[in-house]
């Protein structure tokens, strides 16, 4: 899904050497998608690595940081508090408690940490968390069996399969086994298709791009009429982020493998979202003065001064970009906390929707039949969308 590592490394080298073609396809940031630490020196240079156009004034570059920090930790905390209140009221009025089922295969410490963090977040807002932990050598059939169990369990409103899976398993087959009404990752093809269509609403929006949009909304940044650039076209972040921006009438460009002169494209962006998975790839010379910058990347780089031996940085060189942009997300503490908050939000949405279906029907079969009705009702409430 993220592309070949060698190709991505080649892409980074091509950008730095000012080649005109770039490979921007995947992203390290997802719901627990984890990668080994890369031994890449992240210290920025004071010289822009990409030649600037003649019309691009660089006199102000690399002065004092002036960008507002978009604090994902603070926003995520507010969202969790709001959800905790709503879940408490739901439990009192109907006895319904949202539930999230998580399947972890193997003994990767990083994956186990992600799962534990999600469990803690669930408990904090009142969502029940159900975990299945299978050994590394489990068969694909065993994983599918547990997914089927969660699919049929009315107390489970959302299902998350922790990635990456062992190499002997078919990730697509396993993810496709999750019922769409419990696909709180929002990655089912039908969800993405509905997101792309006018006058339609997906059952769920993918968590990370949903979190990006929530940050823009809560900080009051205008989207309609703005030029937005999304770097990366992954199914997890890039594609849905571009679709969400289009829905709010931004003029959107996606920078990807075939994009020529990507730095010139990004310098036109009033809103820049990067989801590449390459540390400090986007330099200050790529940033439009006064733009809003959302950095989805979360990349471990070697740092001998850190107790862990590494530290996390984004796709965008924060030291340089923060001196040019008007607002920027830090890494860590920007998009990351929002991803988990949106996972909890989607689980709550699923629980409310399921409860509504059961109130209107007699059981699971009737509830499933009502999904299309709910979609139609949601679309009719939008009041129609302009065709251009």
Label residue 45 exposed, middle or buried (CB < 10 Å: 0-12, 13-18, 19+): exposed
pLDDT of residue 63: 56
pLDDT of residue 194: 94
The beta strands (E) that lie in the chain are given as 68-69, 99-105, 128-134, 158-161, 227-231, 251-255, 271-274, 292-295, 299-302, 310-313, 327-328
pLDDT of residue 113: 87
Listed residue (260, 266, 303) closest to 281, CA to CA: 266
pLDDT of residue 252: 98
The verdict on whether 162 is a catalytic residue reads: yes
pLDDT of residue 25: 37
CB 314 within 8 A of CB 53: no
The verdict on whether 185 is a catalytic residue reads: yes
pLDDT of residue 114: 87
User: Taking the model in full, what pTM does it have?
Assistant: 0.79
pLDDT of residue 350: 97
272 bridge partner residues: 229, 293
Q: Pick the catalytic residue: 8, 183, 185, 226?
A: 185
pLDDT of residue 358: 60
Q: Virtual CA dihedral for 281, 300, 340, 195, nearest 10 degrees? A: 30
Q: Pick the catalytic residue: 162, 182, 278, 315?
A: 162
Ordered DSSP codes for 229-246: EEE---TTTHHHHHHHHH
Q: CA-CA distance, 316 to 238, in Å (whole number)?
A: 15
pLDDT of residue 388: 54
Burial state string for 351-382 with b = 16 or more CB within 10 A and e = fewer than 16? bbbbbebbeeeeeeeebeebbeebbeebbeee
| Count of other CB atoms within 10 angstroms of residue 326 | 15
For the stretch 253-304, pLDDT in tens is 999 989 999 999 999 999 999 999 999 999 999 999 999 999 999 999 999 9
From first to last of its 388 residues, the chain has per-residue pLDDT tens of 434 444 444 444 444 433 333 333 344 444 444 444 444 344 444 333 333 443 444 444 445 678 999 999 999 999 999 999 999 999 999 999 999 999 999 999 888 988 999 999 999 999 999 999 999 999 999 999 999 999 999 999 999 999 899 999 999 899 999 999 999 999 888 999 999 998 899 999 999 999 999 999 999 999 999 999 999 999 999 999 999 999 999 999 999 989 999 999 999 999 999 999 999 999 999 999 999 999 999 999 999 999 989 999 999 999 999 999 999 999 999 999 999 999 999 999 999 999 887 666 544 444 444 454 554 455 444 444 444 5
């Amino acid at each position: 899904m993220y592309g070949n590592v060698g190709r991505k490394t080649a892409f980074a080298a091509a950008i730095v050497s000012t080649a005109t073609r770039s490979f921007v396809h995947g992203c390290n940031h997802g719901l627990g998608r984890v990668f080994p630490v890369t031994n890449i020196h992240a210290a920025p240079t004071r010289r822009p690595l990409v030649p600037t156009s003649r019309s691009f004034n660089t006199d102000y570059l690399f002065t004092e940081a002036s960008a507002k920090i978009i604090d994902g930790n603070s926003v995520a905390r507010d969202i969790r508090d709001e959800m905790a209140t709503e879940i408490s009221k739901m439990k009192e009025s109907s006895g319904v408690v949202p539930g999230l089922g998580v399947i972890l295969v193997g003994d990767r410490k990083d994956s186990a940490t992600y799962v534990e963090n999600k469990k803690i977040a669930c408990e904090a807002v009142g969502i029940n968390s159900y975990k299945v932990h299978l050994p590394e050598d489990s068969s694909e059939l065993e994983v599918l069996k547990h997914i089927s169990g969660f699919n049929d369990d009315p107390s489970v409103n959302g299902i998350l399969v922790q990635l990456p899976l062992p190499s002997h398993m078919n990730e697509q087959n396993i993810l496709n086994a999750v019922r769409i009404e419990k696909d709180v990752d929002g990655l089912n093809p039908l969800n993405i298709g509905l997101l792309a269509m006018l006058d339609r609403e997906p059952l769920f929006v993918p968590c990370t791009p949903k979190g990006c949009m929530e940050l823009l909304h809560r900080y009051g940044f205008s989207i309609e009429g703005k030029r937005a650039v999304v770097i990366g076209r992954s199914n997890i972040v890039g594609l849905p982020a571009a679709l969400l921006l289009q829905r709010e009438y931004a003029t959107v460009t996606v920078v990807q493998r075939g994009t020529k002169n990507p730095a010139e494209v990004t310098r036109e962006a009033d809103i820049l979202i990067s989801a590449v998975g390459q540390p400090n790839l986007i330099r200050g010379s790529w940033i439009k003065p006064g733009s809003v910058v959302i950095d989805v990347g979360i990349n471990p780089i070697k740092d001998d001064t850190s107790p862990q031996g590494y530290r996390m940085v984004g796709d965008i060189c924060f030291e340089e970009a923060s001196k040019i942009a008007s607002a920027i997300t830090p890494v860590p503490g920007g998009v990351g906390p929002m991803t988990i908050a949106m996972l909890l939000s989607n689980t709550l949405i699923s629980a409310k929707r399921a409860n509504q279906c059961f109130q209107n029907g007699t059981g699971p079969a009737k509830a499933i039949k009502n999904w299309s009705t709910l979609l139609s009702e949601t679309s009719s409430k939008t009041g129609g969308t302009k065709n251009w």
